[in-house]
């Protein structure tokens, strides 16, 4: 069987060739990942090359000036965030890629900020955390929850990566909860912890659907309605009380009302005709703290329809033109001598002009009544 032998031969030769090929181009191994601290100095050796080897360094494909080199090593002073990138060194003549470094410039983590809150009492509470300043490199967080000596599970939030949830197993506990968090990255590590009683972290979400409406025929009233937050699981056994604040947009001072029951309230001292801004907050009746203020509702109290302007006009010109009003001109006009003859002769004696006005006014009313 002559055929298989040459085939096997070819296969081996091909494999050998492949190996040699990859070895020649082998610094296509995954680049070495390196984390360095912002502001520090770093020297990057060109892999295993001799110190005096002739190499060129490139960062993200751009050549680097030779004055940064110390022999075949790249020296970077005072690292900045912009220094992060893929550094590669090549043999100067053959352009053979010798070594690659993926450099990340960052900071070790500062003490994390941790807070816990129960907006779903008595179901449970959640804790969230963040770093006060960015590290610019990936961080891992580890949260542990202790209730006395018992370890509790903190389930990761499905949407937010810096939050986890704990379910209450027991209520009315005298033993405090201790939540600890540790954060670490390639450059360092930090941690913090907080301790609290079950009752102190209760803070509901703000009330929902706050709506304010004017009250018909009541120019100083506004009716406000809202709903208990949907996250509060059991308002029957754990009732909420509410705090309402309102002010006209034009003033800075808020008025406050505390309500121990119900989800409506009527404001009875609104300034007529002024637009109001209204907000509501919620709190468990006995424990915890007030929620944040709700989304604001705006409303203006009911105002009466304005009457026709002509009945209120004081200008004398109206007495000389046909009015559409059916009301007799007010008697004050007749006696209002000062307004008569405006824009005209000041020398017209008022006594003479009065009967003229009367006659005209009478004519006007007769005319208008005839028009009906």
Q: Residues interacting with other proteins, by CB under 8 A? A: 122, 148-149, 168-176, 178, 195, 199, 236-239, 285-287
- Nearer residue to other proteins within complex by CB, 159 or 171: 171
- Nearer residue to other proteins within complex by CB, 66 or 148: 148
Tell me the chain's radius of gyration from C-alpha atoms.
42
- Nearer residue to other proteins within complex by CB, 197 or 339: 197
Of the candidates 302, 308, 320, 305, the residue with the CA atom closest to the CA atom of residue 357: 320
Of the candidates 90, 67, 71, 68, the residue with the CA atom closest to the CA atom of residue 79: 68
Alpha carbons within 13 A on the beta-carbon side of 102: 7
- Nearer residue to other proteins within complex by CB, 57 or 121: 121
User: Which DSSP state fits 131?
Assistant: -
- Nearer residue to other proteins within complex by CB, 87 or 121: 121
Instruction: Give the count of beta carbons closer than 10 Å to the beta carbon of residue 351.
Output: 8
Q: What is the C-alpha to C-alpha distance for residues 134 and 358, in angstroms, rounded to an integer? A: 86
Closest separation in Å from C-beta 153 to other proteins: 16
Closest separation in Å from C-beta 168 to other proteins: 6
Tell me whether the omega of the peptide bond preceding residue 122 falls within 30 degrees of 0, making it cis.
yes
- Nearer residue to other proteins within complex by CB, 39 or 148: 148
DSSP result, 80-119? -GGG-EEEEEEETTT--EEEEEEEEEE----PPEEEEEEE
Closest separation in Å from C-beta 132 to other proteins: 22
- Nearer residue to other proteins within complex by CB, 236 or 252: 236
Of the candidates 102, 116, 134, 267, the residue with the CA atom closest to the CA atom of residue 199: 116
- Nearer residue to other proteins within complex by CB, 214 or 233: 233
Q: What is the C-alpha to C-alpha distance for residues 123 and 167, in angstroms, rounded to an integer? A: 6
Closest separation in Å from C-beta 148 to other proteins: 7
- Nearer residue to other proteins within complex by CB, 162 or 173: 173
- Kindly report the three-state secondary structure assignment for every residue of 288-317: CCCCCCCCCEEECCCCCCCCCHHHHCCCCH
CB 89 within 8 A of CB 73: no
Closest separation in Å from C-beta 368 to other proteins: 58
Closest separation in Å from C-beta 198 to other proteins: 9
Closest separation in Å from C-beta 155 to other proteins: 17
Closest separation in Å from C-beta 331 to other proteins: 59
Q: What is the C-alpha to C-alpha distance for residues 286 and 301, in angstroms, rounded to an integer? A: 34
Q: What is the C-alpha to C-alpha distance for residues 110 and 273, in angstroms, rounded to an integer? A: 54
Q: What is the C-alpha to C-alpha distance for residues 32 and 150, in angstroms, rounded to an integer? A: 43
Closest separation in Å from C-beta 224 to other proteins: 24
Of the candidates 108, 36, 48, 38, the residue with the CA atom closest to the CA atom of residue 73: 48
């Amino acid at each position: 069987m002559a055929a298989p032998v040459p085939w096997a031969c070819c296969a081996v030769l091909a494999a050998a060739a492949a190996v040699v090929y990859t070895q020649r181009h082998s610094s296509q191994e995954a680049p070495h990942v390196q984390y360095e601290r912002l502001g520090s100095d770093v020297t990057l050796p060109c892999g295993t090359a001799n110190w005096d080897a002739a190499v060129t360094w490139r960062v993200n494909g751009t050549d680097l000036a030779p004055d940064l080199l110390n022999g075949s090593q790249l020296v970077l002073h005072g690292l900045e965030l912009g220094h992060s990138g893929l550094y590669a060194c090549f043999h100067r003549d053959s352009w053979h890629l010798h070594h690659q470094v993926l450099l990340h410039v960052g900071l070790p983590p500062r003490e994390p900020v941790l807070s816990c809150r129960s907006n779903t009492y008595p179901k449970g509470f959640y804790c969230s955390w963040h770093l006060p300043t960015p590290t610019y490199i990936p961080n891992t967080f580890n949260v542990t929850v202790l209730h006395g000596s018992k370890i509790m599970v903190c389930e990761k939030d499905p949407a937010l990566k810096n939050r986890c949830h704990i379910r209450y197993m027991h209520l009315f506990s005298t033993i405090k909860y201790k939540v600890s968090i540790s954060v670490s990255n390639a450059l360092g590590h930090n941690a913090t912890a907080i301790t609290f009683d079950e009752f102190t972290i209760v803070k509901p979400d703000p009330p929902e659907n706050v709506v304010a409406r004017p009250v018909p025929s009541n120019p100083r009233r506004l009716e406000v309605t809202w709903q208990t937050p949907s996250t509060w699981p059991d308002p029957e056994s754990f009732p909420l009380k509410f705090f309402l604040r309102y002010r006209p947009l034009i003033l800075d001072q808020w008025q406050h009302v505390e309500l121990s029951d119900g989800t409506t309230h009527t404001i009875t001292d609104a300034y007529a005709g002024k637009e109001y801004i209204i907000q509501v907050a919620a709190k468990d009746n006995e424990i915890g703290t007030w929620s944040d203020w709700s989304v604001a509702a705006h409303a203006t109290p009911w105002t009466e329809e304005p009457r026709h302007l002509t009945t209120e006009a004081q200008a004398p010109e109206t007495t000389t033109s046909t009015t559409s009003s059916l009301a007799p001109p007010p008697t004050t006009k007749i006696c209002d001598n000062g307004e008569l003859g405006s824009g005209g002769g000041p020398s017209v004696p008022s006594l003479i002009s009065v009967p003229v006005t009367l006659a005209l006014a009478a004519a006007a009313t007769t005319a208008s009544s005839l028009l009906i």
